[in-house]
Chains A and B, each alone.
Chain A
Amino acid sequence: MIERQEKQQQLKLLKWLTIALFLKLILLNIFPYAFYLQQLLSYGALLKSLSYFDGKTLAKRLIVIALVLVMVPLVSADTLISYWLLIFTGIIDLLILLQFGYILLVLEQRNNLRATTTDFMKKYMWVVVVVLASWTFLMHLIYIEQMILLFIGALLLFSMNIAFIIHVRNVAKQIKSTMHFVIFTEK
């Protein structure tokens, strides 16, 4: 029964991670205040998700840094700072999600599942790195080029986040199926 309770905790963790990823899907940069709200909500969901994890992780500290970054535009609206924020927010988000990738790996090991997370996180990481590297050039472009570059990058991030959500759902499904198995053998 203890094991069953633990698995329910794990499923809750995955549920909140899915919600956080879902909130990150659309880049709402166009509406300034909607963007703050979206960021705050998704970090909140990540913290909630973390509260179901009992192992060691750096994610909490990184989320605190990310929350500080969210507040910076309230202090300064300089153009160059907004480019820096875009890049550093991207880096911090990537670091946080890599921590969650590590948590997923731990969950897979605890449930004796096939470990697919490592491969997936590698792909995810490289796509985000390429997008962020290309976005450092945004400050030299005229608006239409900026729009195109931002759009292509956002599209890549969007598809990778969708893939991440599907991956998390898969892990959750597998954990659920082991739960049925446990119940069945107990009877």
Chain B
Amino acid sequence: MMTVGAVYFIAVQEKVFQLATFKQGMSKFSPTIYWLCAIGLSLLTAFVVRTAIRRGANKKFVLALGFIVLLLFGNSAFYLQNQLAQPITVPLAYDFYSGNERHDLTIHYVTNKSDHRAVQYLQAGEVTLFARYYEQPAKDQPMFYYPADVTEQGRYQLMRSAYFIGNKDEMQKLINSDAIYLVLDDGEKLSTTLQLDFDRPADEVAYSFVSSSGFNNGNQTAIFKMMQDAVFDKVFIPEFLQGSIEFNEIDVNGKTYTTEDFPIAVKKDQLVSISLQSKAAALDLQKMVGISGPEGILPIWILRKAPFDIEKITEGRLQND
């Protein structure tokens, strides 16, 4: 009886859950209801346990079984509380190398482990890019579902990647369109937060790249050799990255400057070392920043992967919207 009730409980919750998703879009379904259900079922269990003991069942044994069932209800409520109502896409800021003819683009998205849908294609106006390496979802392994495109695994969610390839025209259309959707194999559309652009090598000063170090801890230092004389008087950071990237110091031939010492004049053949600090932002980054002046920009590429932190990712999406 209890088992049948339990299965029914799950079925009802699933239906309610779907309705909630439909109504509220991104927001999670209220966890209170799960806990209320769990508490209700626990009371029912306590009642069944008491009846069984009164009828002469082994007391310790019945209590032990009751304990297992209580654990199951509590854990399930906790599990349901941590489910996403809908897959979310990780914000991405991406500069394509304009020198290339074909471009690729990887968009990460986070789905529940129990959600076996995958992104099938990307839709922006009339442009449709099909995801490469798309796999039909497997139905027979509910507990150990681990598709090939998973990049990171959390306790309740998987971070997966959708990989697209397109030519220059298609990417230009993506950059110009205001709404880009990822479409799952059941037709559901996921909104994305993308900041796409081409880089502009024409705007850059003449330099040769020497070395770069320290990508992961947030500190990054790049060294260049100047091929022309230039004056730098501004930092160049795209608007939405301001606040998450800071230039620490600029080192010209052993002499150290900060951004407060602008303008800085550098001569041909001098070594310029720029170090900057980027705070952990919840977005995937392949973006150009730099210092700029009348002669052009001295660019540094920032490559970062968003940390697998759902709260931060959701926040980041709201900010960038």
A-side interface residues toward B, CB under 8 Å?
29, 32, 65, 68-69, 72-73, 76-84, 87-88, 91-92, 98, 125-126, 129, 132-133, 136-143, 146
A92 to B113, CA, bound (A): 27
Per a CB cutoff under 8 Å, which of A82, A88, A126, A133 touches B142?
A: A82
Which of B64-72, B166-174, B219-227 makes up part of the contact surface?
Answer: B64-72
A-chain residues with CB within 8 Å of residue B156 when the two chains form the complex: 140
Q: By CB atoms of chain B within 10 A, which of A72, A73, A133 has the most?
A: A133
B-chain residues with CB within 8 Å of residue A133 when the two chains form the complex: 67-68, 71
Indicate if the CB atoms of A88 and B114 lie closer than 8 Å: no
Indicate if the CB atoms of B65 and A91 lie closer than 8 Å: yes
Interface: B3 (CB within 8 A): yes
Name A91's closest neighbour in chain B (CB-CB): B65
Indicate if the CB atoms of B143 and A136 lie closer than 8 Å: no
Interface: B78 (CB within 8 A): yes
B-chain residues with CB within 8 Å of residue A72 when the two chains form the complex: 7
Indicate if the CB atoms of B71 and A136 lie closer than 8 Å: yes
Interface: B270 (CB within 8 A): no
Indicate if the CB atoms of A79 and B113 lie closer than 8 Å: yes
Indicate if the CB atoms of A137 and B114 lie closer than 8 Å: no
B-chain residues with CB within 8 Å of residue A146 when the two chains form the complex: 143-144
B-chain residues with CB within 8 Å of residue A82 when the two chains form the complex: 142-143
Name A89's closest neighbour in chain B (CB-CB): B3
Name B150's closest neighbour in chain A (CB-CB): A143
Contact code string B53-67 (vs A, CB < 8 Å = 1, else 0)? 000000001001101
Interface: B255 (CB within 8 A): no
A-chain residues with CB within 8 Å of residue B4 when the two chains form the complex: 68
Name A147's closest neighbour in chain B (CB-CB): B144
Indicate if the CB atoms of A143 and B153 lie closer than 8 Å: yes
Name B10's closest neighbour in chain A (CB-CB): A81
Indicate if the CB atoms of A83 and B10 lie closer than 8 Å: no
- Distance between A141 CB and nearest chain B CB, rounded to angstroms: 7
B-chain residues with CB within 8 Å of residue A65 when the two chains form the complex: 3
- Distance between A150 CB and nearest chain B CB, rounded to angstroms: 9
14 contacts between A and B (CB under 8 A): A68-B4, A73-B142, A79-B113, A80-B76, A83-B76, A87-B72, A88-B3, A91-B69, A125-B61, A126-B64, A136-B68, A139-B75, A142-B155, A143-B144
Q: Given the interface contacts A129-B64, A142-B153, does A80 sit within 8 Å of B72 by beta carbon?
A: no
- Distance between B94 CB and nearest chain A CB, rounded to angstroms: 29
Indicate if the CB atoms of B6 and A84 lie closer than 8 Å: yes
B-chain residues with CB within 8 Å of residue A78 when the two chains form the complex: 10, 14, 114, 142
Q: Secondary structure at chain A's binding surface: helix, strand, loop or mixed? A: helix
A163 to B72, CA, bound (A): 28
B-chain residues with CB within 8 Å of residue A140 when the two chains form the complex: 75, 78-79, 155-156
Indicate if the CB atoms of B145 and A79 lie closer than 8 Å: yes
- Number of B residues whose C-beta is below 8 Å from A? 34
Indicate if the CB atoms of B155 and A84 lie closer than 8 Å: no
Q: By CB atoms of chain A within 10 A, which of B68, B75, B78 has the most?
A: B68
Per a CB cutoff under 8 Å, which of B10, B145, B154, B155 touches A80?
A: B10
Interface: B245 (CB within 8 A): no
Q: Apart from A78-B10, A125-B61, what 4 extra A-B contacts exist at CB < 8 Å?
A: A78-B114, A79-B114, A80-B10, A88-B3
Q: What are the 4 A-B residue pairs with the smallest beta carbon separation, nearest first?
A: A79-B114, A136-B71, A82-B142, A129-B64
A83 to B114, CA, bound (A): 11
Interface: B47 (CB within 8 A): no
Interface: B146 (CB within 8 A): yes
Interface: B140 (CB within 8 A): yes
A-chain residues with CB within 8 Å of residue B276 when the two chains form the complex: none
Indicate if the CB atoms of B75 and A77 lie closer than 8 Å: no
A-chain residues with CB within 8 Å of residue B146 when the two chains form the complex: 143
Interface: B206 (CB within 8 A): no
Of residues 1 through 45 on chain B, the ones whose CB sits less than 8 Å from some CB of chain A are 3-4, 6-7, 10-11, 14
Interface: B266 (CB within 8 A): no
A-chain residues with CB within 8 Å of residue B67 when the two chains form the complex: 129, 133
A32 to B142, CA, bound (A): 10
A137 to B74, CA, bound (A): 10
A-chain residues with CB within 8 Å of residue B183 when the two chains form the complex: none
A79 to B145, CA, bound (A): 9
- Distance between A123 CB and nearest chain B CB, rounded to angstroms: 13
